[in-house]
Structure 1
Amino acid sequence: MTDAAELEVPPPPKKTKLPLILGFVLLLAGAGGGFTLVKIGIIGGKTIEAAGDSTETSDIPPESEDVAFVPLDPMVITLSSGSDRQLLRFTAQLDVNPAAVEEIEKIKPRIIDILNGYLRALEVEDIEAPAALIKIRSQMLHRVRIVAGENRVNDLLVMEFVLN
């Protein structure tokens, strides 16, 4: 008889959903309150009206600054991957300091040579990667700055980059 009394275990109490509901209500109240505080400008800095009147400087140079571009000759590079041969058409311009335009024009053959050597070393898989143009562009800009001088070339602008 004592064995039968030990086997009868009372059923577990039914779980309440009150903490879940309370947590959800507090979540909604916090989100609504945070949105309201940001919207009226108490926290989060500027309001939408003040953001339009901002006088902060941006990374983009103003149009009033002198900017000079030196176009590079178009290049056609043969890329081989296995038995397939593909052509890469590449055209670019250099964003240079206006005082350095003549010096860059004089060394333009060296710049084209260094870019041609780099592009020929690439494989088709390197070019077809999703972020390939960003990586290739930064590598080419680094090489151009080595040849031309660090303070002469600001940027390399890729005008055409087509793989046929």
Structure 2
Amino acid sequence: MADATEEPEEKKAGLGLKGWAAAAILSLVLGGGGFYAAYSGMVANALTPKEAPHPVAEARGPEFLELEPMLVSVGGEGSIKQLRFRAFLQVPYQGADHVEALQPRILDIFATYLRAVGTDTLENPAALLRIRAQLLRRVQLLAGPEAVSDLLIIDFVIT
């Protein structure tokens, strides 16, 4: 027998028929709106970054000044060894003319230093970094620390 004090069963919590209908209508509206936004290009226009106007002439990078190739005799008295040397100097865009005017002095500094270095040091592949740093330091002392930012050695051949 049923007891009068029993409580009726509670309904399960859920969306029910009205909730499912509202969810279906909402998903159709949102899906249609998303399709229209993508199809009409509204989404593509919003996602593309706006280009800031910037002058192209001022955005120039560094220039590379090619030095004349050098042939330096190395090895001391009676030696017939020669060093073929070719390099580029990396200079800022505005300073290329200043450094180009100093090219004869730069070549003289390079030749003097390379003649003073021994052949065993020149033939050591690990010493090339130290030689490059020494040459760059000498150019920066001559032209100014801001005038030359790097030295690129293209040819370094001992014959």
Using structure 1 for the length normalisation, give the TM-score: 0.58
User: Residue deviations 1:35-86, cap 9 Å, x none?
Assistant: xxxxxxxxxxxxxxxxxxxxxxxxxxxxx75120111010001112575420
Runs of 4+ with deviation above 6 angstroms: none
Which of the numbers 50, 61, 67 marks the counterpart of 1:72?
67
Q: Give the count of matched residue pairs.
A: 101
Consecutive unaligned residues of structure 1, counting only runs of 5 or more, are 1-63
Instruction: Answer yes or no: is the 8 Å Cα contact 2:60–2:93 preserved in 1.
Output: no
CA RMSD of the aligned region, Å? 1.5
- Higher Cα radius of gyration: 2
The 5-angstrom pairing of residues 1-164 of structure 1 reads: 66-81=61-76, 83-164=78-159
Q: Give 2:89's aligned amino acid.
A: L
Q: Give 1:99's aligned amino acid.
A: Q
> Separation in 1 of the partners of 2:112 and 2:95?
24
Identity fraction in percent: 39
> Separation in 2 of the partners of 1:103 and 1:79?
30
Using structure 2 for the length normalisation, give the TM-score: 0.60
Q: Give 2:75's aligned amino acid.
A: S
